């Protein structure tokens, strides 16, 4: 497996406060990597820096190229995609238009219809609601739309910020099943989650972020049995 | 007031309102995509009328020199920005967009002028010369402060309007112009004579609004502009560049303002500073429509046109006072009707 994405000693500051400090992580091709940690640990900040919405220090490499100085749009054109915590859907626009805009960065438009059909196959609910405005969807449907929209860009690395946030348990299971199935398509995934158990069950490798620093990392199957993590994040059993 | 007079005033008002509607739609377009309330839109409309008048008089309009100066300034600013960000690889593209294309447009217009072109070509030339102005002003003035507050952008926009009025005097002179009517046809409807120019204004407003609707609903670029207006961060995450969306919005908006300038020139005498009132009345129309809705802005602008028409019949001296007083009840109604969210306050 070759390295898809890596961060080396990345530091992100809000004004003069270091929200993320010297974080290093890497995602191999076709791998699901998760970053877990408590609220306010800097998980979202890390993803915002990875996509370029926040400025950062340190080195960021995507598919062998340094992307640290690139704009958000240039990163997206290289097929690095983020589904943010707030989803950032185009609420006044239809589901179909939201999905179509997901493919905006693709130069080759020939495969767009096929990708759209694949997304509709994966999320039949979106097909049923394709003419409906995104703002009228339920929480679960909005998350499906955010995921579907990101898939329209044919991402090489998909970064997901709290995909289970605010969703009913049944929907959460469906979302994680979908995430796991994306790995089979060859999409690498960087998953940031508070639902640590679900994240580690789905991921191959995990990092634990506390107060802006990586305090622990290892294969997900090892972390899930780690006594410290069980007490702190996995519900203590 | 008899019903005949009311009908004539209403038709006159609808025609004026249709011109305001084109400018109002442009104002909403720019505001939603870039958050800039582009006050100089009226100036763009007035400059188009002055450009067309110069072309009619077989003179090369001052617009050419204005575009050349703005293109040089924009190119310098773009190059310095590329140097600062270490993005010199984008230089050829910057030169093409900010220097070569605007200069080519001026050159083409200059060459076409020598062949004594017919009216249809002169209309196209006037629009061609006017459309680069707003996107170039965007690069020079607004792009460097794109992340500023709406209030800062508005303040700069007002300052820019005054600068443009000064430039208008320099490039077009103090004389007013009135161009030939685009058609001499007329028709009678329910006992009221309607001039061909009036019909043309209404038809043009409908056609251009319709084209804009098709552009927004059926093209990927149109949808990307709507997306930028709805959610800027979301659109960036799709790879839509806000600066590029802004440029397209300015181009389209200038085209709308240009068309309204061409339509109004045979009906009103246009001076270098006539744009302010056109822009301001269109702005009132856009506010009536809530600043974010195109049909709302168009209906608001037509309403302003009709109100102005009746007001000028009742008291010509007070017509502008009456029109602008409309803002007060509308703003009170809007502030009572809308719920302020925390996000708006942060903005």
pLDDT by residue (tens digit) across A106-145? 988 899 999 999 999 999 999 999 999 999 999 999 999 9
pLDDT band at B347 (very low <50, low <70, confident <90, very high): very low
Selected for mutation to probe chain A from B33, B221, B234, B343 (highest A CB count within 10 Å) is B234
pTM of this structure: 0.88
Interior/surface letters B309-320, b for 16+ CB within 10 angstroms, e for the rest: bbbbbeeeeebe
Nearest residue, CB atoms, B238 vs list A91, A92, A104? A104
Note whether A101 contacts B235, CB cutoff 8 Å. Answer: yes
Residues of A in contact with B233 (CB under 8 A): 53, 84, 88
Q: Has residue A92 got a pLDDT over 50?
A: yes
Q: Which of B231, B236, B241 minimises the CB distance to A90? A: B231
What's the whole-number average pLDDT of chain B? 90
Q: What are residue A89's phi and psi, to 5 degrees?
A: -80, 165
Burial class of residue B149 in the structure, from the number of CB atoms within 10 Å of its CB (0-12 exposed, 13-18 middle, 19+ buried): exposed
Q: CA Rg, chain A, in Å? A: 17
Name the minimum distance, in Å, from the CA of A34 to any CA of chain B.
21
The string of pLDDT tens digits covering residues B115-170 is: 889 999 999 999 999 999 999 999 999 999 988 899 999 999 999 999 999 999 99
- Taking residues A75-93, report their average pLDDT: 95
Are residues A92 and B230, on separate chains, in Cβ contact within 8 Å?
Answer: yes
For A93, which of B230, B240, B241 is closest by C-beta distance? B230
- Tell me: pLDDT of B345 over 90: no
* Model confidence pLDDT, tens digit, residues A51-61: 999 999 999 99
- pLDDT-based confidence at A90, cuts 50/70/90? very high
Q: Is the distance from CB of A204 to CB of A219 less than 8 angstroms? A: yes
Asked whether the beta carbons of residue A90 and residue B236 sit closer than 8 angstroms, the reply is no
pLDDT tens for B201-220 read 999 989 988 999 899 999 99
Query: In percent, how much of chain A has pLDDT > 90?
Result: 76
Q: Report whether A141 contacts A11 (CB < 8 A).
A: no
Which helix (H) or strand (E) covers residue B288, if one does?
helix B275-288
């Amino acid at each position: 497996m070759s390295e898809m994405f890596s961060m080396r000693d990345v530091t992100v500051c809000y004004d003069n406060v270091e929200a993320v400090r010297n974080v290093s992580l890497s995602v191999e091709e076709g791998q699901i990597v998760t970053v877990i940690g408590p609220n306010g640990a800097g998980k979202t900040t890390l993803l915002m820096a990875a996509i370029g919405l926040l400025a950062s220090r340190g080195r960021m490499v995507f598919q062998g190229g340094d992307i640290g100085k690139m704009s958000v749009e240039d990163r997206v054109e290289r097929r690095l995609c983020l589904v943010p915590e707030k989803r950032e859907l185009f609420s006044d626009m239809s589901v179909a238009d939201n999905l179509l805009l997901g493919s905006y960065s693709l130069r080759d438009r020939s495969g767009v219809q096929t990708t759209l059909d694949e997304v509709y196959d994966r999320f039949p609910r979106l097909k049923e609601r394709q003419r409906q405005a995104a703002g009228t969807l339920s929480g679960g449907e909005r998350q499906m739309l955010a995921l579907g929209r990101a898939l329209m860009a044919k991402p090489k690395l998909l970064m997901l910020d709290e995909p289970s946030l605010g969703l009913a348990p049944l929907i959460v299971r469906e979302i994680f099943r979908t995430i796991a199935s994306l790995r089979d398509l060859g999409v690498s995934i960087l998953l940031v989650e508070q639902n640590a158990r679900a994240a580690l069950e789905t991921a191959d490798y995990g990092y634990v972020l506390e107060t802006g620093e990586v305090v622990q990392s290892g294969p997900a199957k090892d972390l899930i049995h780690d006594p410290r993590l069980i007490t702190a994040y996995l519900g203590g059993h | 007031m008899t019903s005949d007079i009311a009908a004539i005033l209403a038709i006159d008002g609808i025609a004026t309102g249709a011109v305001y509607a084109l400018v109002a739609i442009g104002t909403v377009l720019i505001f939603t995509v870039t958050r800039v309330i582009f006050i100089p839109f009226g100036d763009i409309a007035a400059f188009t009328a002055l450009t067309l008048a110069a072309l009619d008089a077989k003179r090369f309009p001052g617009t050419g020199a204005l575009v050349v100066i703005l293109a040089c300034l924009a190119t310098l600013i773009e190059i310095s920005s590329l140097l600062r960000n270490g993005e010199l690889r984008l230089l050829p593209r910057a030169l093409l967009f900010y220097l070569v294309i605007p200069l080519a447009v001026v050159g083409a217009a200059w060459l076409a002028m020598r062949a004594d072109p017919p009216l249809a070509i002169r209309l196209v030339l006037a629009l061609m010369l006017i459309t680069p102005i707003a996107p170039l002003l965007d690069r020079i003035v607004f792009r460097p402060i794109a992340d500023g507050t709406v209030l800062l952008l508005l303040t700069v926009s007002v300052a820019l309007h005054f600068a443009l009025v000064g430039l208008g005097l320099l490039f077009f002179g103090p004389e007013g112009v009135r161009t030939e009517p685009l058609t001499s046809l007329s028709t009678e409807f329910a006992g009221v004579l309607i001039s061909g120019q009036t019909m043309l204004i209404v038809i043009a407003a409908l056609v251009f609004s319709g084209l804009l609707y098709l552009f927004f609903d059926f093209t990927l670029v149109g949808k990307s502009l709507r997306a930028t207006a709805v959610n800027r961060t979301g659109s960036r995450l799709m790879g839509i560049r806000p600066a590029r969306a802004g440029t397209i919005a300015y181009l389209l908006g200038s085209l709308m303002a240009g068309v309204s300038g061409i339509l109004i020139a045979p009906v009103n005498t246009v001076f270098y500073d006539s744009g302010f009132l056109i822009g301001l009345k269109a702005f009132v129309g856009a506010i009536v429509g809530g600043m974010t809705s195109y049909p709302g802005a168009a209906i608001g602008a037509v309403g302003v046109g009709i109100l102005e028409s009746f007001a000028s019949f009742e008291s010509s001296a007070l017509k502008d006072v009456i029109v602008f007083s409309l803002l007060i009840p509308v703003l009170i109604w809007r502030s009572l009707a809308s719920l302020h969210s925390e996000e708006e306050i942060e903005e």
